[in-house]
A and B are shown apart, each in its own frame.
Chain A
Amino acid sequence: MQTWTIDRPGTVEIPADEPMTRLSVRLASGRLSVVGTDGPPRVEVRAIGETAAEVRWDRGTATVTVEPEHTWPGLLAPLWWWLRGGTKAAADVSVAVPYDTACTLRLASGSLVVSDLRAEVRVDCASGRLTLLGLHAPVTGKVVSGPIEALGCTGALDLETVSGEIVLADSATARVRAKTISGALIADLDNPPHDSNIDLETISGEITIRVREDSDLSVRMNAVHGRVTTDFPELRVEPRRGANAQGRLGSGSGRLIARAVGGSISLLRRPVDADFDAGGDT
């Protein structure tokens, strides 16, 4: 086991004695970015507050921690964060890892960027913005307050936020579960036509979904107080508030469920160039 302490901007190269398989980061506040590369793994600190970053390397697992040792006790802790957190515990940390590194990331407040990985990613963030790009393995993301934006992710997605919105752009994934309480949910899915499983839920936000026009999906959409609209003619939709819509697209082998309590739902079709990317569903 090796450890390093970083108390001013700088870089730590992880030794190549063993391939890196896991990364775990706990950051109190600031910015964290994790990027898959084919270069050597390394931890880069661009800015750091009074709390130094600890890097630990042990049998293929790297752990990076920037957390103050003690704050004020009990109920005063949030006050400490509010008054001191920004100066004492903030950091701007970037980690370059091999593509196949499984990552567990925790950030109390700030912004988080994860890009280009082929192993499982788990993200937990209390308050902040989560940006996911080009992840090709299962992703679990939870944010309490703040948006989640994902582009070009192909693994199973399980995303949850309380007060932010969730946007999935250009996502060729077969499994999506996304839930918000008050934010909008926008999903543009280049989903494989067969056996996709899409489950979207919001309490007071709106849902907008676009799926391939050649999708095979059993569709169930329920807007308790909002409207349901769709441009798939094969779905029956009652054009009034409080609508339910059910139906089948194609052979109906997959499943699409969308529930909204306060907002409306719209399901749109994504044109497909069948000649060109016919390989997407294999």
Chain B
Amino acid sequence: MTAVFSHGRLRLYLLKLLAEGPKHGYELIRLLENRFLGLYAPSAGTIYPRLARMEAEELVTHTAAGGRKVYEITDAGRAELTARAAELAELETEIHASVADLSSLADTIEAQVRGSVRDLKRELRDASGRARAANRTAQNGGYRSGGRPAAEHSSWRTVAAESRADLERAAGDLAAEVKRLARGAGVDEADLRAATVVVTSALTELRRLLRPR
């Protein structure tokens, strides 16, 4: 897959997709995946930095609508696409060639999925190990132990942890409610902009309140 889609080519293909119309990041990822038989499933972490670089080179621009970035191709981007038309055609042939031999394609798919699964297992095993260790430390420190009250210091920590959890829950509720409201019927763009200002100023206030002393 990496051979099919080296770095310069991903950039070329992103330009091609954007030439078909403005798109946001998530859409780009899904489209890339479909074009490549689901073989190439780039994550946001791969695409985003690349788009940012292309933006710095003024090949694409973005507009932010409600926190969602929509990317658009510029004239310079179109010029690059025209200049590299031959390369693009070659890339498309290769993609179709890989579909031509179904049996080896199946081998590739199996290998690709197995590789991703192996990486994922390792990553999650490490993460759960860390979570387990953190839980154990928390238990020894009297943090949410639910058992006998430990020294004064650790009971203070329990209270602090609970308050923190309360705050985080409230923030979660806020985010969910905002998303729901923003999606409601009859909300126009001006309302959304005003609401964004409200949220931003709340954030500034919170930063002031919770900054480390």
Contacts and interface: CB of A to CB of B under 8 A. Distances in A.
B106 A31 contact: yes
A152 interface: yes
Contacts of B106: 31, 33, 35, 94, 113
A13 interface: no
A133 B176 contact: no
Nearest to A31: B106
Interface in B77-128: 96, 99, 102-103, 105-106, 109-110, 112-114, 116-117, 120-121, 124-125, 127-128
B interface SS class: helix
Given A131-B110, A239-B139, A277 B44 contact: yes
A37 interface: yes
Interface in A226-248: 227, 229-231, 233-234, 236-239, 248
B135 A229 contact: yes
A281 B2 CA distance: 29
A268 B131 CA distance: 8
Contacts of A230: 131, 135
A72 B146 CA distance: 64
Interface in B132-179: 132, 134-136, 138-139, 144-146, 161, 164-165, 168-169, 172-173, 175-177, 179
B99 A134 contact: no
A interface SS class: strand
A35 B102 contact: yes
A199 interface: no
A111 to B, nearest CB: 7
Contact of A186 (B34, B43, B121, B172): B121
A231 B127 contact: yes
B120 A186 contact: yes
Contact of A208 (B48, B66, B128): B128
B121 A273 contact: no
Contacts of A233: 161, 164-165, 168
Contact of B146 (A96, A135, A188, A238): A238
B37 A115 contact: yes
Contacts of B37: 35-37, 115-116, 134
Contacts of A115: 37-39, 109
Contacts of A210: 124, 127
Interface of B: 24-27, 29, 33-34, 37-39, 41, 43-45, 47-48, 66-69, 96, 99, 102-103, 105-106, 109-110, 112-114, 116-117, 120-121, 124-125, 127-128, 130-132, 134-136, 138-139, 144-146, 161, 164-165, 168-169, 172-173, 175-177, 179
Interface of A: 31, 33, 35-37, 39, 42, 44, 46, 92, 94-96, 99, 111, 113, 115-116, 131-135, 149-152, 167, 169-170, 186, 188, 193-194, 208, 210, 214, 216, 227, 229-231, 233-234, 236-239, 248-251, 253, 266, 268, 273-280
